[in-house]
């Protein structure tokens, strides 16, 4: 599967001059973990996440301070997104989802902007990846059967899906068609493995 198969295209964005508090409100209201930052021409210039927006923004509760003890000194929180945004790690719409998952796990990030020619095309999150691997087996099986209509008579294929693992049996002896069937099955959301069996020779 490719990033384009699961990414969100209607992305909420901010610009470098957006107030940091406004960016925090957008994250809270929409349940996001990060927002892409784009300039006036629509080019992606950064990303701002929960961590950057939380830093130095919550003062100590004075009720917990005893004997007039002064609060711990903190840095003045940033006013604008441009002061807290970071350089994003990006992928393209054609990036393999396995690469996206590896990128997220290696760098501990929850979302990755998707860019096409420098412009923001969408965003992909860990939730998108989890959604793709948690589809019901019967839905996966139905989609694969539909895709196999592109490869000759659909009745020639026997399809079974268990826990995302796909078994396909071919009634005809055509290695080229079986290769196409495997590619189509592996490109289906939720599939973790594909095994294709040729017809038994008598």
DSSP 200: P
Tens of pLDDT, residue by residue over 40-77, are: 888 899 999 888 888 766 655 666 666 666 666 666 67
Tens of pLDDT, residue by residue over 1-32, are: 889 988 988 889 999 999 999 999 999 998 88
Using an 8 Å Cβ cutoff, are 134 and 22 in contact? no
DSSP 150: T
What mean pLDDT, rounded, does the chain reach? 87
| pLDDT at residue 136 tops 60 | yes
Tens of pLDDT, residue by residue over 86-133, are: 999 999 999 999 899 999 999 999 999 999 988 899 999 998 888 888
Which band of pLDDT confidence, cut at 50, 70 and 90, is reported for residue 79? confident
> Facing residues of 111 across strands?
125
55-69, 76-90, 145-159, 176-190: which range is least confident on average?
A: 55-69
| pLDDT at residue 147 tops 70 | yes
Q: Estimate the crossing angle of helix 175-186 against helix 137-148, to 10 degrees.
A: 140
Determine the pLDDT at residue 185: 92
Determine the pLDDT at residue 67: 64
73-87, 105-119, 185-199: which range is least confident on average?
A: 73-87
Compute the average pLDDT of residues 125-142: 89
| pLDDT at residue 181 tops 80 | yes
Using an 8 Å Cβ cutoff, are 36 and 44 in contact? yes
114-151: burial string, b at 16+ Cβ within 10 Å, e else: bbeeeebbbbbbbebbeebeebeeeebbebbeebbeeb
Determine the pLDDT at residue 187: 87
Query: CB within 8 A of 37, min separation 6: which ones?
Result: 13, 14, 15, 16, 18, 44, 45, 46, 47, 48, 81, 82, 85
DSSP 132: H
């Amino acid at each position: 599967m490719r990033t384009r198969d699961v990414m969100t295209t209607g992305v909420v964005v901010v610009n470098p001059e957006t107030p940091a508090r406004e960016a925090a409100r957008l994250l809270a209201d929409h349940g996001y973990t990060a927002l892409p930052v784009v300039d006036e021409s629509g080019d992606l210039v950064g990303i701002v996440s929960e961590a950057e927006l939380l830093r130095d923004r919550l003062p100590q509760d004075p009720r917990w301070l005893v004997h007039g003890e002064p609060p711990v000194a903190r840095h003045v929180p940033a006013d604008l997104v441009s002061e807290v945004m970071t350089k994003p790690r990006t992928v393209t719409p054609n990036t393999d989802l396995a690469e996206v998952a590896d990128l997220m796990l290696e760098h501990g990030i929850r979302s990755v902007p998707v860019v096409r020619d420098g412009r923001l095309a969408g965003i992909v999150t860990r939730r998108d990846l989890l959604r793709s691997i948690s589809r019901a087996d019967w839905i996966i099986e139905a989609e694969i059967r539909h895709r196999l209509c592109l490869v000759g008579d659909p009745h020639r294929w026997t399809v079974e899906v268990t826990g995302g693992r796909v078994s396909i049996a071919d009634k005809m002896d055509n290695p080229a068609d079986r290769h196409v069937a495997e590619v189509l099955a592996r490109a289906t959301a939720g599939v973790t493995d594909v095994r294709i069996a040729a017809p038994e020779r008598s």
